[in-house]
């Protein structure tokens, strides 16, 4: 991963897992995010907390270009301003009511959220196609050990499971868990993709067994 001191990019989700008009929970090292895509297709990352009564915005709903909180329907723009408070339909909400937002980049089927202000864009994933994301109850070191490979300069691990080659893009979560995005080389059949999906499930079992043994043995 690029050694930016002003900030860095975290791969939080796959594009295919964020359809238009939806919001999902995501995480960066800076905390919880409500990651959402407006009806027109634009992605935004808002802090996962409505400033009204602290409800998680990732439980909310997207209408048009705004994200609304499920509790009282307060709605926010992609830049974080509060647009509407349904209990007071005639009121223009003051600028002081806002949610923090984070920089977002979407490329090659992966969505990245910035922590701080990175100087460089997220790494390119040339020729790779995103397959799925899954969470492993293992840390990055353990996953590297289980796959027998370390991350390259892009932050990708090349893993081989049952003769399927796949690329893993890792994102540390809390409590020693890791979010793993699985990517494949461009040319593959349905059969290849299903094998790869099952292969990464095997890798997860292996990594989690290893992690459990490491935790037990101290």
Residues in contact with other proteins by CB under 8 A are 13-14, 17, 19, 21-22, 24-25, 48-49, 51-56, 59, 61-64, 68, 70-73, 85-91, 96-97, 132-135, 179, 190, 193-194, 197-198, 201
Q: Is the dihedral of CA 149, 154, 155, 160 positive or negative?
A: negative
Nearer to other proteins (CB atom), residue 49 or residue 102? 49
Is there a contact between 70 and 34 (Cβ–Cβ < 8 Å)?
no
Tell the smallest beta-carbon distance from residue 81 to other proteins (Å).
13
Is there a contact between 68 and 74 (Cβ–Cβ < 8 Å)?
yes
Nearer to other proteins (CB atom), residue 100 or residue 194? 194
| Kind plus residue range of the DSSP H or E element containing 144 | helix 140-147
Tell the smallest beta-carbon distance from residue 17 to other proteins (Å).
4
Integer Cα distance of 136 and 211 in angstroms: 10
Nearer to other proteins (CB atom), residue 97 or residue 145? 97
| Kind plus residue range of the DSSP H or E element containing 194 | helix 190-217
DSSP for residue 122: P
Nearer to other proteins (CB atom), residue 110 or residue 118? 110
Tell the smallest beta-carbon distance from residue 209 to other proteins (Å).
14
């Amino acid at each position: 991963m690029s050694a930016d001191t002003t900030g860095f990019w975290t791969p939080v989700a796959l594009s295919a897992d964020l359809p238009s008009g939806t919001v999902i929970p995501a995480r960066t090292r800076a905390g919880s995010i409500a990651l959402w895509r407006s009806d027109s297709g634009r992605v935004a990352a808002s802090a996962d907390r409505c400033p009204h009564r602290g409800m998680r915005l990732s439980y909310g709903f997207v209408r048009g270009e705004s994200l609304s909180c499920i509790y009282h329907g307060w709605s926010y723009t992609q830049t974080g301003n509060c647009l509407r408070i349904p209990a007071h339909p005639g009121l223009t909400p003051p600028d002081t009511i806002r949610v923090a937002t984070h920089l977002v980049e979407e490329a090659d089927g992966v969505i990245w959220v910035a922590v701080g202000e990175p100087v460089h864009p997220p790494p390119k994933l040339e020729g790779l196609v995103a397959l799925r994301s899954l969470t492993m109850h293992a840390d990055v070191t353990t996953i590297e050990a289980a796959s027998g490979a370390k991350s390259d300069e892009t932050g990708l691990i090349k893993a081989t499971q049952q003769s399927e080659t796949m690329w893993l893009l890792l994102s540390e979560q809390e409590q020693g868990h890791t979010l793993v995005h699985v990517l494949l080389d461009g040319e593959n059949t349905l059969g290849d993709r299903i094998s790869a999906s099952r292969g990464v499930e095997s890798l997860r079992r292996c990594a989690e067994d290893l992690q459990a043994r490491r935790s037990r043995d101290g």
